[in-house]
A and B are shown apart, each in its own frame.
Chain A
């Protein structure tokens, strides 16, 4: 065997070995993004619901995400996320993607309230038929307050108007 061939093989083997390592790292990289990749394309702020962490977010699949983005563009001036401004969860944001957001102490709520004054299924926030975000009390013990008024029926939500549940205050933001 000529020296040249052997040298080429020697370096080639090292190159192949490293190529394997690099491809493996690429697999890890793609693996990182498939678990929450769609959330990244649809909306940068992912919903932090602990119960839904293992579950794929809504609107999976590229066409659905694209449609949602188009929708989001149409509805400029509409709220895009829900922010917890007071209480133990202060600072938490949930992206609004047309899905119902449930609030309560139950573990499967979108926002799991760690609040002694909250019921397990306290309230929900959802878009009504016209696409207007609406808040509804789900028969909670201590009530849900929109601004200062206790909710008795579903009420449309305006941007920046606080919803109070026990010690927690939540607002819609643009």
Chain B
């Protein structure tokens, strides 16, 4: 592999071989940007097709602004693609197209539900807003690509990011909640403008976890006593996990946000496991999360309602149903059922029957009805591929911080998809979280574009071919024939011996 030990020009064949080896590097380590472009065209074409389908089904004609919509999405994707070409040329070719497809599909479904008009309660047009937020998300994507020269810079801000994440998480508790928020205090409002800081805290907290665990992983993995087949960590190493646990319980209690607290705790457990390779952390994590959830479920009325709705989703339709029961899950399950295997077709379902949050938290129900199981599986696979690319990036990354960060970001993404999809399909209690990219919600779209940008930046560093050692100036120096026979030419650093001999 390392040909630099061959003294330059000893055999003509060796010199030629090296020359071909170097010359072909550019073409044998393709940066895959053209593949990305083709996939992006495809990823823009699918939502445009869906858009046309909705228009034909609902109005009988192609939507008037189909070109504008297609161009809008295309321009957004194209600008992002150019930024990738410029700032992260070796990045993974699939992440951007997958995210674009999900974002585009979400836009189509939101537009379709906008068209349902008065049939959907509390319906106000959201497509334009969502398109604007997507644009902002792409802008942030480009910003991250441009400003974050190397993901390892983030390592310097380990503890700052912890503080920032905590402030972001705590902030909504100090803002007045409104009736429309349905009990969860997760928004910060400035007039009509509101953001959900938890979405950003997700990324920032991952940076903290990655930086923290990179430093502490050996202490956590090795300094432990074995007890009943489990490795028990020392008390002082256990500190941080207990702090994070208490924190997530506090989010749960004060902001009644089940999803976010589950997400953060799950994220920390996953990253601990990856950093230390100790199964005992998973056991601890599961015990603590079940314990915490059980504690809160019995005390908090808001969470209790959710648990009841999960245990018996159809209870709300019974004649003498309890006052606080919720119909949402039951309605979603029925919409999934009416979709069947291949769905009713875009624009032909009755997804407005999910009266509550059909565009945001329950958008999967709308997709399940109109695209059926077949379409929903494809969407889940697209999410799965995003996570797979993220984990692949973690495997390929060479630095431990990058590995942990990539694992953390992709598991945060995976956990969020699991929490939402599990909640909507009735597998786990429903939590108020948004499906990444798909659901209506500005903060979510913007934050997830940033997440994809950081992942792509890591994958750019990971996939960038290593600097060729043959690029050293050594072969250019003409070697005197004499000393070559005394000193072994490959001994010591290749440059050194030559420097001494000449």
Contacts and interface: CB of A to CB of B under 8 A. Distances in A.
B230 interface: no
Contacts of B50: 13
Nearest to B380: A21
Nearest to B12: A129
B345 A18 contact: no
A124 B5 contact: yes
Contact of A14 (B39, B60, B375): B375
B492 A121 contact: yes
Contacts of A129: 11
Judged by DSSP, the binding face of B is helix
A58 B5 CA distance: 14
Contacts of B491: 121, 138-139
A1 interface: yes
A7 B491 CA distance: 73
Contacts of A64: 17, 20-21, 24
Interface string A112-124: 0000000001001
A144 to B, nearest CB: 12
Interface string B83-97: 000000000011001
A58 B24 contact: no
Contacts of B17: 58-59, 64, 98-99
Contacts of A56: 21, 24-25, 28-29, 465
B158 interface: no
B11 A7 contact: no
A134 to B, nearest CB: 12
Contacts, number: 157
Interface string A139-161: 10000000000000000000000
Interface string A61-101: 10010000000000000000000000000000000001110
Contact of A47 (B1, B45, B492): B1
Given A13-B49, A16-B46, A61 B385 contact: no
A147 B263 CA distance: 61
A3 B30 CA distance: 47
Nearest to B466: A54
Interface in B1-37: 1-3, 5-6, 11, 13, 17, 20-21, 24-25, 27-30, 32, 35
B388 interface: yes
A27 to B, nearest CB: 6
B106 to A, nearest CB: 14
A1 B1 contact: no
Interface string A2-21: 00011101111110111011
Give the contact-size bracket for chain A.
Answer: 35 or more
B385 A17 contact: no
B1 A61 contact: no
Given A9-B345, A23-B42, A102-B5, A18 B94 contact: no
A166 interface: no
Contacts of B74: none
B93 A126 contact: no
A7 B1 contact: no
A168 interface: no
Interface string B391-405: 000000010000000
B378 A18 contact: yes
B436 interface: no
Best-surrounded residue of A5, A17, A49, A56 (most CB of chain B within 10 A) = A17
B57 interface: yes
B5 A60 contact: no
Given A60-B24, A61-B24, A20 B101 contact: yes
B170 interface: no
A31 to B, nearest CB: 7
B3 to A, nearest CB: 6
Interface of A: 1, 5-7, 9-14, 16-18, 20-21, 23-25, 27-28, 30-31, 34, 38, 47, 49, 51-52, 54-61, 64, 98-100, 102, 108-110, 121, 124, 126, 129, 136-139
Interface of B: 1-3, 5-6, 11, 13, 17, 20-21, 24-25, 27-30, 32, 35, 39, 42-43, 45-46, 49-50, 52-53, 56-57, 60, 93-94, 97-98, 101, 342-346, 348, 371-372, 374-375, 378-379, 381-382, 385, 388-389, 398, 465-466, 468-469, 488, 490-492
14 contacts: A5-B56, A17-B46, A17-B371, A20-B46, A21-B378, A27-B93, A27-B94, A34-B28, A51-B1, A59-B20, A60-B24, A61-B24, A64-B20, A109-B2
The 3 closest A-B pairs by CB, nearest first: A52-B1, A10-B345, A61-B24
Given A100-B3, A121-B490, 16 more contacts: A9-B56, A10-B345, A13-B46, A17-B378, A20-B101, A21-B385, A24-B39, A24-B98, A27-B35, A27-B93, A54-B398, A60-B21, A61-B27, A121-B491, A126-B6, A138-B490
